Amino acid sequence: MKGDSECGGSSMPAERNRRLKMNRLFTQLQATIPRPLSKATKEVVITETIRYIKELERKKNNLEQIKELQIQSHASGTTFMLPCMADADNCSVTVTVSANVAFFGIQTVARRGLITMILEVFSNHKAEILAANVAVNEGILTFAVTALLQIVADGEGEGEGEGAVEMIKREIMTL
Protein backbone atom coordinates (compact mmCIF):
# COMPACT_ATOMS: atom_id res chain seq x y z
CA MET A 1 0.00 0.00 0.00
CA LYS A 2 2.82 2.35 0.80
CA GLY A 3 4.23 1.99 -2.74
CA ASP A 4 0.85 2.88 -4.32
CA SER A 5 0.57 6.16 -2.44
CA GLU A 6 4.13 7.11 -3.33
CA CYS A 7 3.58 6.48 -7.07
CA GLY A 8 0.27 8.31 -7.34
CA GLY A 9 0.96 10.92 -4.71
CA SER A 10 2.94 13.31 -6.88
CA SER A 11 0.47 13.30 -9.79
CA MET A 12 -2.67 13.87 -7.68
CA PRO A 13 -2.01 17.56 -6.91
CA ALA A 14 -1.03 18.18 -10.54
CA GLU A 15 -4.22 16.49 -11.80
CA ARG A 16 -6.33 18.41 -9.27
CA ASN A 17 -4.70 21.70 -10.32
CA ARG A 18 -5.32 20.86 -13.98
CA ARG A 19 -9.01 20.16 -13.30
CA LEU A 20 -9.39 23.37 -11.28
CA LYS A 21 -7.75 25.35 -14.07
CA MET A 22 -10.00 23.73 -16.70
CA ASN A 23 -13.12 24.47 -14.62
CA ARG A 24 -12.03 28.10 -14.16
CA LEU A 25 -11.37 28.51 -17.90
CA PHE A 26 -14.69 26.82 -18.73
CA THR A 27 -16.53 29.22 -16.40
CA GLN A 28 -14.82 32.18 -18.08
CA LEU A 29 -15.77 30.83 -21.51
CA GLN A 30 -19.38 30.39 -20.41
CA ALA A 31 -19.44 34.00 -19.15
CA THR A 32 -18.33 35.38 -22.53
CA ILE A 33 -21.30 33.94 -24.43
CA PRO A 34 -24.03 36.62 -24.70
CA ARG A 35 -26.90 34.17 -24.13
CA PRO A 36 -27.43 32.98 -20.57
CA LEU A 37 -26.49 29.31 -20.35
CA SER A 38 -26.77 28.55 -16.67
CA LYS A 39 -26.71 24.83 -15.95
CA ALA A 40 -25.70 24.06 -19.53
CA THR A 41 -23.51 21.08 -20.25
CA LYS A 42 -19.94 21.67 -21.38
CA GLU A 43 -20.87 20.38 -24.81
CA VAL A 44 -23.69 22.95 -25.16
CA VAL A 45 -21.44 25.80 -24.00
CA ILE A 46 -18.71 24.82 -26.46
CA THR A 47 -21.24 24.47 -29.31
CA GLU A 48 -22.74 27.89 -28.49
CA THR A 49 -19.26 29.41 -28.28
CA ILE A 50 -18.37 28.08 -31.73
CA ARG A 51 -21.67 29.40 -33.12
CA TYR A 52 -21.05 32.79 -31.49
CA ILE A 53 -17.52 33.00 -32.93
CA LYS A 54 -18.85 32.21 -36.42
CA GLU A 55 -21.52 34.91 -35.98
CA LEU A 56 -18.84 37.43 -34.95
CA GLU A 57 -16.72 36.50 -37.97
CA ARG A 58 -19.74 37.03 -40.26
CA LYS A 59 -20.41 40.43 -38.67
CA LYS A 60 -16.74 41.38 -39.07
CA ASN A 61 -16.87 40.52 -42.78
CA ASN A 62 -20.08 42.53 -43.20
CA LEU A 63 -18.52 45.53 -41.45
CA GLU A 64 -15.45 45.32 -43.70
CA GLN A 65 -17.75 45.35 -46.75
CA ILE A 66 -19.62 48.34 -45.32
CA LYS A 67 -16.34 50.18 -44.78
CA GLU A 68 -15.39 49.58 -48.42
CA LEU A 69 -18.81 50.85 -49.58
CA GLN A 70 -18.41 53.97 -47.46
CA ILE A 71 -14.96 54.67 -48.88
CA GLN A 72 -16.22 54.20 -52.44
CA SER A 73 -19.34 56.32 -51.90
CA HIS A 74 -17.44 59.17 -50.25
CA ALA A 75 -15.01 59.20 -53.17
CA SER A 76 -17.83 59.37 -55.72
CA GLY A 77 -20.22 61.48 -53.58
CA THR A 78 -23.14 59.08 -54.02
CA THR A 79 -25.70 57.62 -51.66
CA PHE A 80 -25.07 54.00 -50.83
CA MET A 81 -27.05 51.09 -49.43
CA LEU A 82 -25.65 49.25 -46.45
CA PRO A 83 -26.23 45.56 -45.83
CA CYS A 84 -27.80 44.69 -42.49
CA MET A 85 -26.37 42.08 -40.18
CA ALA A 86 -29.44 39.84 -40.31
CA ASP A 87 -29.18 38.72 -43.93
CA ALA A 88 -27.09 40.67 -46.42
CA ASP A 89 -29.12 39.33 -49.37
CA ASN A 90 -32.49 40.52 -48.03
CA CYS A 91 -31.58 43.61 -46.03
CA SER A 92 -30.44 47.17 -46.65
CA VAL A 93 -30.34 50.62 -45.05
CA THR A 94 -30.43 53.76 -47.18
CA VAL A 95 -29.83 57.17 -45.63
CA THR A 96 -30.33 60.59 -47.17
CA VAL A 97 -29.54 63.72 -45.15
CA SER A 98 -30.55 67.33 -45.77
CA ALA A 99 -29.54 69.85 -43.09
CA ASN A 100 -30.78 68.33 -39.83
CA VAL A 101 -33.44 66.08 -41.39
CA ALA A 102 -32.57 62.50 -42.32
CA PHE A 103 -34.55 59.90 -44.23
CA PHE A 104 -33.84 56.28 -43.35
CA GLY A 105 -35.07 53.54 -45.68
CA ILE A 106 -34.74 50.14 -44.04
CA GLN A 107 -35.52 46.78 -45.64
CA THR A 108 -34.98 43.56 -43.73
CA VAL A 109 -36.52 40.23 -42.88
CA ALA A 110 -39.46 40.89 -40.56
CA ARG A 111 -39.18 39.65 -37.01
CA ARG A 112 -41.02 40.26 -33.77
CA GLY A 113 -40.06 43.44 -31.89
CA LEU A 114 -37.77 44.84 -34.61
CA ILE A 115 -39.73 48.08 -35.13
CA THR A 116 -39.62 48.79 -31.40
CA MET A 117 -35.86 48.22 -31.31
CA ILE A 118 -35.35 50.54 -34.30
CA LEU A 119 -37.48 53.26 -32.70
CA GLU A 120 -35.45 52.92 -29.48
CA VAL A 121 -32.28 53.61 -31.47
CA PHE A 122 -33.75 56.91 -32.68
CA SER A 123 -34.92 57.74 -29.17
CA ASN A 124 -31.49 57.01 -27.68
CA HIS A 125 -29.94 59.51 -30.09
CA LYS A 126 -32.62 62.13 -29.35
CA ALA A 127 -33.81 62.07 -32.95
CA GLU A 128 -37.38 63.31 -33.28
CA ILE A 129 -39.36 61.13 -35.67
CA LEU A 130 -41.39 63.30 -38.04
CA ALA A 131 -42.89 60.47 -40.09
CA ALA A 132 -42.70 56.69 -40.19
CA ASN A 133 -44.22 54.17 -42.58
CA VAL A 134 -44.15 50.41 -42.18
CA ALA A 135 -45.03 47.72 -44.69
CA VAL A 136 -44.51 43.96 -44.65
CA ASN A 137 -44.76 41.97 -47.86
CA GLU A 138 -43.87 38.27 -48.06
CA GLY A 139 -41.87 38.45 -44.84
CA ILE A 140 -39.82 41.50 -45.89
CA LEU A 141 -40.19 44.55 -43.67
CA THR A 142 -39.90 47.98 -45.29
CA PHE A 143 -39.59 50.79 -42.76
CA ALA A 144 -39.22 54.43 -43.83
CA VAL A 145 -38.38 56.99 -41.16
CA THR A 146 -37.98 60.75 -41.50
CA ALA A 147 -36.24 62.13 -38.42
CA LEU A 148 -35.16 65.52 -37.12
CA LEU A 149 -31.65 65.21 -35.73
CA GLN A 150 -30.22 67.14 -32.80
CA ILE A 151 -27.30 69.07 -34.22
CA VAL A 152 -24.82 70.45 -31.73
CA ALA A 153 -22.24 72.80 -33.22
CA ASP A 154 -18.66 72.60 -32.04
CA GLY A 155 -16.25 75.50 -31.78
CA GLU A 156 -15.57 75.58 -35.53
CA GLY A 157 -19.22 75.74 -36.57
CA GLU A 158 -19.26 72.08 -37.57
CA GLY A 159 -22.33 70.04 -36.61
CA GLU A 160 -22.50 66.57 -35.14
CA GLY A 161 -25.51 65.57 -37.25
CA GLU A 162 -23.43 63.45 -39.61
CA GLY A 163 -21.94 61.55 -36.68
CA ALA A 164 -25.41 60.93 -35.26
CA VAL A 165 -26.58 59.59 -38.62
CA GLU A 166 -23.64 57.19 -38.75
CA MET A 167 -24.25 56.00 -35.19
CA ILE A 168 -27.98 55.48 -35.80
CA LYS A 169 -27.24 53.64 -39.04
CA ARG A 170 -24.67 51.35 -37.38
CA GLU A 171 -26.96 50.54 -34.47
CA ILE A 172 -29.87 49.71 -36.78
CA MET A 173 -27.61 47.43 -38.82
CA THR A 174 -26.59 45.47 -35.73
CA LEU A 175 -30.17 44.74 -34.65
- Domain spans in the chain, listed from the N-terminal domain onward: 79-173
Q: How far apart are CA 46 and CA 37, in angstroms?
A: 11
Give the pLDDT score at 159: 46
pLDDT tens, per residue, the chain with 175 residues: 444 444 555 678 899 999 999 888 888 877 777 666 667 788 888 888 888 888 889 888 888 887 787 777 666 665 555 545 444 445 688 898 888 899 999 998 888 888 999 999 999 989 999 999 999 887 888 999 999 988 655 544 444 556 788 888 888 888 7
Range list of H helices, the chain: 2-9, 11-32, 42-76, 114-124, 161-173
Task: Report the DSSP pairing between strands 140-148 and 101-109.
Answer: antiparallel
Give the pLDDT score at 1: 47
Give the pLDDT score at 112: 85
- The helix, strand and coil proportions of the chain, stated in percent and rounded to the nearest 5, come to 50, 20, 25
Give the pLDDT score at 157: 41
Q: How far apart are CA 131 and CA 146, in angstroms?
A: 5
Give residues with Cβ within 8 angstroms of 34, minimum separation 6.
52
CATH 3.30.70.260 assigned to 79-173: yes
Counting Cα atoms < 13 Å in the Cβ hemisphere of 104 gives: 32
Are the beta carbons of 142 and 106 closer than 8 angstroms?
A: yes
